[in-house]
Structure 1
């Protein structure tokens, strides 16, 4: 079967990625924070991200020196960081309420400096559809641009095919239900007891996919992002043939151990996928009241 080759340069998130109106970047982690956690991750790191409840293990420190260039240890942070960028990239292209692509395993990695461009990572990884648990091998290049001004990484990824899952019927049923719903959705995930109702899981998945737009845009060689919580969802009225949502999400940056709040405005429909309209970082002191659903 012919390979599916995807080449996208992400200087700005446009088209299917949307166009953020406001982006306030988080403060960079201190040098001490980065050095303290810069080398190793648990060997089972590919198992720490769970669709229903994304828990992230604490990193393990090591005295082993890791080469900045050349062959990389697949279980150490440099390879894992670059591989997570590929995960977020694929989610922005193919993610849906019934398909969430995650990093299953890093098989190999190689890093090299590219003159006047930045540092490029060549990776062989396995990606996984967390909902169906199906996996697929993927080769990828991730270039972290150099320069004082942070720019999104540039990604090239090639895989034979996406994990085979036919979600068309489920997506159309979900869209029809909430497009004609007289009472707009208002929720937070998980709830105050750490529970996600099965009927709400598609909206948790949507939050994960939409958050990948932020994590892809914000990723550097010194970051490793996961979505920790959907603090608030509000469905908004729209005249277009799409569902529109206002999400408040909490991201966990493992290197600095920061919890970062973001606001996301995006639309979704089965034929168009997720389109991010706006993303804005919120102050860490920002708190949302638990939403009350009024029917």
Structure 2
């Protein structure tokens, strides 16, 4: 019979042999894996809802993965790269290309039909289509709803906007059907306001319409409306496919003495480009009477104030 010492020694020797054999097998497997794949590594994919802040504002995803609210607009995110939206063919009514072109129509209508008692705003874009026009630019065909803000009347309108390019580059060309808007009758209110301004012993003046709280005194609202209509002349002239203008504020307005039937006003307005977020000051010489309508006699772009506080956006 073997002694206890011999049994233990034999057991330990057998265990050591098994362990050495196992270690050798592991080393061989690791060596083979390293030769085939190189050093082990871990690949971390970006989260599906991460965004590239430098992406084009008109971009849309190739493959939808989910959505969340970014500011006031729903922004859709996905795992693949963003693809810039096609600028020709049918347009998404809620995207920038259609909205920018439709905003130009708003300024066009104000410059044609606006007054202290008629102020037109874009209500909705129903449909839009864009196409390249050889040697001319890009043409947008739109169906929109336009709201007259003071009387709260909304009408549908068909419009065509051409943004010139190349040597023809300049103000957009607009054609629009607005016969229904012409039927909005504000003659009585305009005549009463005209007589009030004409017979005043002291010339009118005002500033900061609206104020920092967004408030405008009721008797100053016609002056603000007139400033908004006059600003549309500038915004129509300055608009491109890369801008989206609103009038932010009448910084100040002064009625000027005149010897004819046209009332004259010196306006200093602040325009807001929603794309660049720039606040741009303009000086306007404006005339108005009910028979002749609103005319902008002079418009001068003033030096931009980069440190100025942005006024409340009103339209």
TM-score under structure 1 length normalisation? 0.76
- The number of residues matched between the two structures is 241
Matched residue, 2:154: 135
Offset at 1:35? 5.9
Q: Residues 38 and 255 of structure 1 are in contact (CA less than 8 Å); yes or no, is this contact kept in structure 2?
A: no
Alignment partner for residue 87 of structure 1, among 87, 106, 129? 106
Over alpha carbons, which structure has the higher Rg?
2
Q: Residues 36 and 61 of structure 1 are in contact (CA less than 8 Å); yes or no, is this contact kept in structure 2?
A: no
The CA deviation string for residues 172-193 of structure 1, in whole angstroms up to 9 with x for no partner, is 1111111111110110112455
Tell me how large the CA RMSD over aligned residues is.
2.5
Verify: 1:161 aligned to 2:183, yes or no.
Answer: no
Alignment partner for residue 241 of structure 1, among 248, 256, 261? 261
Matched residue, 1:113: 132
Q: How far apart in 1 are the matches of 2:153 and 2:182?
A: 6
Q: 1:39 to 1:261 in 2, by over 3 A?
A: farther
Offset at 1:194? 3.7
Verify: 1:256 aligned to 2:276, yes or no.
Answer: yes
Matched residue, 1:291: none
Q: Whose relative contact order is higher, 1 or 2, with alpha carbons under 8 Å and at least 6 apart?
A: 1
Q: How far apart in 1 are the matches of 2:304 and 2:236?
A: 20
Q: How far apart in 2 are the matches of 1:118 and 1:162?
A: 29
Q: Residues 134 and 164 of structure 1 are in contact (CA less than 8 Å); yes or no, is this contact kept in structure 2?
A: no
Matched residue, 2:35: none
Q: Residues 56 and 84 of structure 2 are in contact (CA less than 8 Å); yes or no, is this contact kept in structure 1?
A: no
Matched residue, 1:292: none
**Helix, strand or coil for the counterpart of 1:97?**
coil
- Structure 2: tracts of 5 or more residues without a match: 1-52, 61-70, 77-81, 309-315
Verify: 1:228 aligned to 2:239, yes or no.
Answer: no
Q: Residues 163 and 169 of structure 2 are in contact (CA less than 8 Å); yes or no, is this contact kept in structure 1?
A: no
Q: How far apart in 2 are the matches of 1:34 and 1:249?
A: 31
Q: How far apart in 1 are the matches of 2:286 and 2:280?
A: 19
**Helix, strand or coil for the counterpart of 1:162?**
helix
TM-score under structure 2 length normalisation? 0.71
Q: How far apart in 1 are the matches of 2:113 and 2:233?
A: 12
The CA deviation string for residues 203-260 of structure 1, in whole angstroms up to 9 with x for no partner, is 1100110000000000000000000000000100011101100000000001111110
- Please give the residue correspondences for 1:154-193 in structure 2 after superposition, counting only pairs within 5 Å: 154-162=173-181, 164-188=183-207, 189-191=209-211, 193=213
Deviant stretches of 4+, over 4 Å: 33-36, 57-64
Offset at 1:166? 2.2
Q: Residues 129 and 163 of structure 1 are in contact (CA less than 8 Å); yes or no, is this contact kept in structure 2?
A: no
**Helix, strand or coil for the counterpart of 1:161?**
helix
- Structure 1: tracts of 5 or more residues without a match: 1-32, 41-56, 289-295
Matched residue, 2:224: 204
